[in-house]
Amino acid sequence: MKAAETHSLGDAELVELVGRARIEAFNLRVQHSTGQLENTARLGHVRRELARGLTIARQRGLDVEHELRRQRDA
């Protein structure tokens, strides 16, 4: 996802993007450590996507951690 697309997301969508990126990054790290990951470049793409989402959330003043916990507990 490009930066302009990420900036145009709403707050709830941005929190969802960060949550999905964290899960995907974890899964890719596990696959990489077990030798099952074929496309290692995807690791970098997901890390940048996560960083971009977190940066935009901070700029907007969103508490992503709190929102993710609240979604998980609901």
Every domain of the chain and the residues it spans: 3-73
What is the structure's pLDDT at 1? Answer: 81
pLDDT digits (tens, 9 = 90+) for 8-51: 999 999 999 999 999 999 999 999 999 999 999 999 999 999 99
pLDDT of residue 72 exceeding 90: no
What is the structure's pLDDT at 74? Answer: 78
Triad 24, 53, 64: Cα angle to 5°? 90
Q: Is the pTM of this model over 0.95?
A: no
Fold of 3-73: Helix Hairpins (1.10.287)
